[in-house]
Amino acid sequence: MGILETIKDPLDVKRLEEGELTVLAAEIRDLLVSSVAKTGGHLGPNLGVVELTIALHRVFDSPRDPILFDTGHQAYVHKMLTGRAGQFGTLRQEGGLSGYPSQAESEHDVIENSHASTALSYADGLAKAITLRGEAGRTVVAVIGDGALTGGMAWEALNNIAGRKDLPLIIVVNDNGRSYSPTIGGLASHLSSLRMTQGYEHVLELVKSNLGRVPVVGAPLYDTLHGIKKGLKDILTPQVMFEDLGLKYVGPIDGHDEGAVEAALRRARGFRGPVIVHVLTRKGNGYTHAENHDEDCFHGPGPFDPLTGEERPKPHSWTNVFSEEIVKIGGERDDVVAITAAMLHPVGLAAFAEAYPDRTYDVGIAEQHGLTSAAGLAIGGLHPVVALYATFLNRAFDQLLMDVALHRLPVTVVLDRSGVTGDDGPSHNGMWDLSILQVIPGLSIAVPRDGARLRELLAEAVGIDDGPSVVRYPKGALPKDVEAVGKLGEMDVLRAGDADVLLVAVGPMAEICMEAANLLDAQGISATVVDPRWVKPLDQALVLAAAAHKLVVVVEDSGRVGGVGDAVARLLRDADVDVPVRTYGIPQRFLDHAKRAKILSEIGLTGQDLARQITEAVARRSQVMESHPARLVQPTD
């Protein structure tokens, strides 16, 4: 039996001898590689925090001492050391372990965060609560990466933490110089200088060894230098940025030396106040293929061969199409610039950055800043394209509303991984954007149904010069192109039917709606299928089309509340068209992790489910019409 198999609780980690810790670390890395090779997941970040996490559980008493991980994707080792190592074969699978902290899994997972830069705020509040309740002896630990420190919310938290000298809070800065890719910006440069500095103690030793050879002046001069060591320290190790905030600072520490990390954490705990512990780690440490992976050190690979590090081939994706098309647009228009929030490769902007490096801006994990910076670029005469995961737009809603839309600026926001994303769980499903964006005046929203429409709509969006635009698409492989058979205004007619049902297929739901329409035919119900292409503003031709049908059905890969279905119903009410509207979309709840297809099936967004539900709706509608009071009035002579 390996050592890891004996770990059922953090107390088991505390009982290990020093020599056993090295073996435990090796076993953890083996399990990380073998598990993620099968399921995909966040490998590089977790390989980098093995010794750090072991040290955390040897010094602190989880869950009495809450350990909070920012952004949460590096909590795999924490899960193993809290009794879940035997379940790692189920990682990111339906019914299995989540890829992020999960309160449902363990009392050791205090928060379910997977959006960056949040843990320090959680920690601030939790530490204040512990202090207020007089729970002496407890310590809150927040582990945050240098990438997450590029987010403004982290600095808002630091500002408040530094103002309370009594907070039992330790902030572990896990500094590997990367978020997905190398961390950028002034903070990154600052931390890099800390990583490269040997430390003033080493410099003093060097000075002493040389000056000591000089008679008379050597020793006195060394004493003078030692007397001003604080000034020398400030020059050589710029950790004073943290100290000037009023935070004690310990480090930098070699994050792969478990003993050194453990000693630093014990020292920090003894201060009984807010402390920064700066730990230097290497993303992907211990697995050569991850260490040598230039793009992101196997940050989040899909399934791969653990011997060669080769990922399984991936089909051509929505992201690939965007990547190709934005490079093409960049070649045609030199006013188009691109902005990414620390996700150059995941959102498909790497090729644009290679082609036009001077027109690409990585703002770090700072979506709010990114949108308002885009506003500034637009005021300056450029057309910014801001590429984000849909779930992360939530963080920058105010900036899109007040800084971009209020000024009617030509900024295009491209939302990758919209709708149901699946494996990464509730925080990563991009199901909120079509609801929250409906309230923004002057905003245009395009939802392509396939690769050909993504190319068309991206070009149209970048062509809008009197206000902001959004283009959204899902995660994964492209569906087959669905060609239009006609036009209704600017909408595409995908299938012409009789007056029974008008099916409004929002973007990638087109394929499912076409399947449902074919199944409805077998029930004697004829359906017309249209793709609006632009769902905000809606085409007025939709009013006439709806009036010509008995039932309107809207199908969207988004939350039902406030989404496209609600917008269609409002449009028809305003036009005094009383045709009933049914909306099928994502229920307003947090969805458990599973494959996209499985989730869509569970929430009734398949062709067969839609056909059944629409058939029932038509039957109910027919019963209502038959029993309508107007039909019960007998004609008179």
Select 3-292's CATH number: 3.30.300.30, 3.40.50.1000, 3.20.20.150, 3.40.50.970.
3.40.50.970
Phi-psi sector, 533: left (phi>0), alpha (psi -120 to 50), beta: left
- What does the alpha-carbon distance between residue 79 and residue 338 come to, in Å, rounded to a whole number? 38
* Catalytic annotation, pick one of 29, 282, 359, 395: 395
| 160-175 mean pLDDT | 88
Annotated catalytic residue, options 92, 178, 283, 472: 283
- The pLDDT, as a whole number, for residue 187 is 52
Range list of β-strands (E), 590-635: none
- Please identify, in words, the CATH class of the domain defined by 486-626: alpha beta
- Model confidence over 6-32: pLDDT tens digits? 999 999 999 998 889 999 999 999 888
pLDDT > 90? residue 196: no
pLDDT higher than threshold 50 for residue 297 = yes
> What is the 8-class DSSP label of residue 592?
P
Q: How far apart are CA 320 and CA 322, in angstroms?
A: 5
Percent of residues, the chain, with pLDDT higher than 90:
48
Rounded CA separation 499/3 (Å): 69
| Cross-strand pairs, 238 | none
Amino acid in position 52: L
Please spell the DSSP secondary structure of 422-477, one letter per residue: -TT-TTT-B-SHHHHGGGSTT-EEE--SSHHHHHHHHHHHHT--SS-EEEE--SSB
Mean pLDDT, residues 532-556 taken together: 95
The 10s digit of each residue's pLDDT in 36-69 is: 888 877 788 888 889 999 999 999 999 999 999 9
Residue 613 has pLDDT above 60, yes or no: yes
Q: Nearest 5°: phi and psi at 145? A: -85, 165
Question: d(Cα 485, Cα 30) in Å, to the nearest integer?
Answer: 55
Distance CA 428, CA 422 (A): 8
CA atoms of 213 and 230, how far apart (whole Å): 25
Of the candidates 347, 351, 443, 354, the residue with the CA atom closest to the CA atom of residue 370: 347
Q: Residue 212: its pLDDT value, please?
A: 46
Q: Which residues line the annotated binding site for Mg(2+)?
A: 146, 176
> What is the C-alpha to C-alpha distance for residues 369 and 398, in angstroms, rounded to an integer?
11
pLDDT, mean of residues 327-340:
96
- Would the pLDDT of 179 be above 50? no
In single-letter form, the type of residue at position 286 comes to: G
Contact 317, 451 (CB under 8 A): no
- Output 497 or 472, whichever has higher pLDDT: 472
Q: In what order do the strands lie in the sheet with 501-505?
A: 486-488, 491-495, 527-531, 501-505, 551-559, 581-586
State the DSSP string of 251-297: EEEETT-HHHHHHHHHHHHHH-S-EEEEEE--TTTT-HHHHT-TTTS
Element holding 487 (H helix, E strand) = strand 486-488
pLDDT at 397 over 90: yes
Domain locations in the chain as residue ranges: 3-292, 318-472, 486-626
Tokens at residue 358, please?
């001077």
Q: Which residues is 144 bridged to in the sheet?
A: 70, 173
Query: Tens of pLDDT along 401-441?
Result: 999 999 999 999 999 999 888 777 677 778 889 999 999 99
Question: Distance (Å, rounded) from C-alpha 24 to C-alpha 356?
Answer: 46
Would strands 491-495 and 534-536 be described as parallel, antiparallel, or unpaired?
A: unpaired
CATH no. for 318-472: 3.40.50.970
Task: Supply the Cα-derived Rg of the chain in whole angstroms.
Answer: 29
Which 3-state string (H, E, C) describes 123-167?
HHHHHHHHHHCCCCCCCEEEEEECCHHHCHHHHHHHHHHCCCCCC
Give the separation between CA 151 and CA 153, rounded to whole angstroms: 6
List all residues 6 or more positions away from 81 whose beta carbon is below 8 Å from its beta carbon.
7, 10, 13, 53, 54, 57
3-class secondary-structure state, position 509:
helix
Instruction: Specify binding-site residues for thiamine diphosphate.
Output: 73, 114-116, 147-148, 176, 287, 367
For residue 395, indicate whether it is catalytic: yes
The dihedral over CA atoms of 351, 352, 357, 362, expressed in degrees to the nearest 10, equals: -100
- Return the closest-CA partner of residue 506 out of 520, 496, 492: 492
Question: Where is the binding site, in residues?
Answer: 73, 114-116, 146-148, 176, 287, 367
Answer whether 0.85 is exceeded by the pTM: no
Do 3-292 and 486-626 share a fold? Answer: yes
Among 105, 262, 367, 460, the active-site one is: 367
